[in-house]
Amino acid sequence: MKQEFLNFINSLMEANPELTDSLMTDNIRDYLKILKDEKDSKPDLTENGKTILSYLQNNQNVKLWKSKDLAEQLGISSRGVSGTMRKLTNDGFCEKIGQNPCVYCLSEKGKNYIIEGENE
């Protein structure tokens, strides 16, 4: 969710550079810097995140996934997959489609992301 917020703010700033320059205070700049730095200091993916994202990237013939199906395929608990999918969605690697049941698909970021340690 934080990354979605930062993406939104960045798109507003890019679309209105004159307005941004006139309204952006030092306090706002400092706060945005802190938000961005927090994001940059965290690892992009947990081990479960890497496992799931790699699996989704390698199985793009299936467009939509339920957490339960991923858990069965990967041998990870349903609860572990659900939490990881929430994080992958918040970080922009996946998109959530529907509520009942929750179904996920890879975003463009998720399709193109190079997982550290793979193919090196």
In the predicted model, what is the mean pLDDT of residues 25-43? 73
Query: Distance of alpha carbon 117 from its chain centroid, rounded?
Result: 19
Q: Which residues span the domain enclosing 22?
A: 2-41
- Quick one: tokens of 21? 């320059």
For residues 51 and 102, state if they share a domain.
yes
Is the pLDDT at 36 greater than 80, yes or no? no
pLDDT above 80: residue 74:
yes
Residue 23 lies in a domain: yes
Neighbours of 25 (CB within 10 A): 8
For 86-108, what is the mean pLDDT?
91
Contact 3, 92 (CB under 8 A): yes
d(C-alpha 26, C-alpha 93), whole Å: 31
Residue 70, SS3 per DSSP: helix
Are residue 51 and residue 37 in the same domain, yes or no?
no
Give domain status of residue 71, yes or no: yes
If asked whether residues 54 and 34 sit together in one domain, one would say: no
How many percent of the chain have pLDDT more than 70?
90
How much is the pTM? Answer: 0.63
Asked whether residue 95 is assigned to any structural domain, the reply reads yes
**What does the mean pLDDT of the chain come to?**
86
Largest CA distance in the chain: 53
The sign of the dihedral angle between the CA atoms of 111, 113, 118, 120 is: positive
Q: Domain with 91 in it: what CATH number?
A: 1.10.10.10
**Helix residue ranges per DSSP H, 1-75:** 2-15, 17-23, 26-41, 47-58, 67-74
Q: Does 32 lie in the same domain as 51? A: no
Percent residues over pLDDT 90 in the chain: 47
Domain count, the chain: 2
Coil, strand, or helix at residue 88? helix
